[in-house]
Amino acid sequence: MSVAIENFVKAIYKNGKRNNNDTKPGNIAKELGISNAAATDMAKNLATKDLLKYQKYKPLELTDKGTKMALSVIRKHRLWEALLFKLFDMSLHDIHREAELLEHQTSDLLAEKISEYLGNPKFDPHGDPIPNANGEITTSDTSISLSNANEGKSYTISRLMSDDKEFFEFCAQNGLKYGNTLVVSKQFTNNKMTQILINNNTILLNQDFTSIIYVNENN
Amino acid sequence: MSVAIENFVKAIYKNGKRNNNDTKPGNIAKELGISNAAATDMAKNLATKDLLKYQKYKPLELTDKGTKMALSVIRKHRLWEALLFKLFDMSLHDIHREAELLEHQTSDLLAEKISEYLGNPKFDPHGDPIPNANGEITTSDTSISLSNANEGKSYTISRLMSDDKEFFEFCAQNGLKYGNTLVVSKQFTNNKMTQILINNNTILLNQDFTSIIYVNENN
DNA sequence: AAACTTTTTTAAGTTTACTTAAATATTTAT
DNA sequence: ATAAATATTTAAGTAAACTTAAAAAAGTTT
């Protein structure tokens, strides 16, 4: 199975997990930077390989086989991120970029070796869960989006759910890092803006950012 | 530049460095497991990209640009081998196989990080020299092929120059490892067979193997 | 509900990296 | 030196993964 196929299946899986939940070809095409026509073509092709169910004009639905493939690629991606993060001094964005390529050239054996070496971690440096070799995911159910956090409470950052360079740079500059502690000092109307205290600094976040930062309340 | 191109250029470089020195399309084709016609096609294509000089029926010659590309790929391959060897308990053959894929998906930045992490090593676990970022290679000029070694003398293994699974398995079983010491106990007619002492065992090697094992004389 | 916009699909075409088969050149053996 | 064997090249064709343009369906607005 090719890189194009792995990325396609992964994009469907990821879009399926998001709020919008739109897995129609056009959305997948946008995600992958290819034309809508190419996405439709690929969808038909993958249907014959039993990786997804294709019905004209309907959202694409991964089969069990397709889901398994997506999770295998995601597992490899996150294991690479965890390994590169541990070994090298590189920005999260650079690490993400490297993992995006390495994930497709990694045997199951190597993935196991990486996992073992890291002590079979359940989360990568963004706090994204690492599926195990059977495709099972541990999700920390207690974590909430920072936009839903409460004023005056203290939280631990459990996930930075993004691939965006600017976001990572902002995080790096402001101490927003997996495992760090913050206090919500003020939530503005409709949680459109959130003021937080972190590393003795006060910072103001808009909803684009607070919606992709996940936290667990400290007790 | 594609994986196919990187592998093509690498195959020419490697064949050029070997005794036979035959870089005609057919030889490269055999190395890569593609048809002669495909190799001729690719050669013409790469000539337009200034990676090699192509003249009908003549051996292929890499340009400076082509040589640089080959060395960059080889550098990444050997850095990966060194890293995987250090971190994981995997056979040299498995490590080679993984590196064969990873080498094409490694940014120069990541290569530098790996190199740094390993202390900028000059040799990989087979004893193959690792080109530096400028494509310069350190070669240990004092090393000779085991088939040219002298009876009764002691040597240190400096290189196991092969990609072959059976060879690596044989090496692993018999203590033939980069850095290990052996004594040549007998050279048979025309060096066709060599008897050596290693780890208190006597083993007999044919020329297929002694010609790809390189050693340095101990003083 | 009709009109407009957007999305999806179909159709036709491109590029890369191959393939096989046949023609041609080179190399080897006698 | 010529014939036979081998290797290289040319030609034609294929599959994967795209593209653009046009047609068709779906969704949105008034």
**pLDDT per position as a tens digit, A73-84:** 999 999 999 999
pLDDT band for position A214 (cuts 50, 70, 90): very high
Q: What is the pLDDT of residue A178?
A: 87
CA atoms of B29 and B48, how far apart (whole Å): 19
Coil/strand/helix, residue A142: coil
* Token duo for residue A171: 């995080």
Q: Which candidate from A102, A109, A117 shows the least CB-CB separation from B102?
A: A102
pLDDT band for position A88 (cuts 50, 70, 90): very high
**Chains A & B: contacts with CB separation below 8 Å:** 50
DSSP A174-195: HT--TT-EEEEEEE-GGGSEEE
Residue corresponding to tokens 């994009």: A11
CA atoms of A150 and A146, how far apart (whole Å): 9
Identify the CATH homologous superfamily for domain A144-217.
Ferrous iron transport protein A (FeoA) (2.30.30.90)
B1, B6, B81, B87: best mutation site toward chain A, by most A Cβ within 10 Å?
A: B87
CA atoms of B140 and B142, how far apart (whole Å): 6
Residues of chain B with pLDDT under 50: none
Nearest CA of chain A to the CA of B102: how many Å? 6
Closest CA to B105 of A19, A3, A5: A3
In degrees, rounded to 5, the angle at the alpha carbon of residue B186 between the alpha carbons of residues B184 and B188 is: 130
CA B58 to C1' C26, whole Å: 10
Fold of B3-62: Arc Repressor Mutant, subunit A (1.10.10)
Q: Please determine whether the domains at B3-62 and B144-217 fall in the same fold group of CATH.
A: no
Q: Which candidate from B88, B105, B109 shows the least CB-CB separation from A101?
A: B105
ipTM of the complex: 0.88
A171 pLDDT exceeds 70? yes
Q: Between chains, do A84 and B109 touch, taking CB under 8 Å as contact?
A: no
Q: What amino acid is encoded at A74 in this protein? A: I
Kind and range of the H or E run holding B183 = strand B181-187
Domain locations along chain A: 3-62, 144-217
**Strand C bases within 7 angstroms of protein beta carbons:** 7-12, 16-22, 25-27
Helices (runs of H) and strands (runs of E) counted in chain A: 8, 8
Q: What is the pLDDT of residue A12?
A: 97
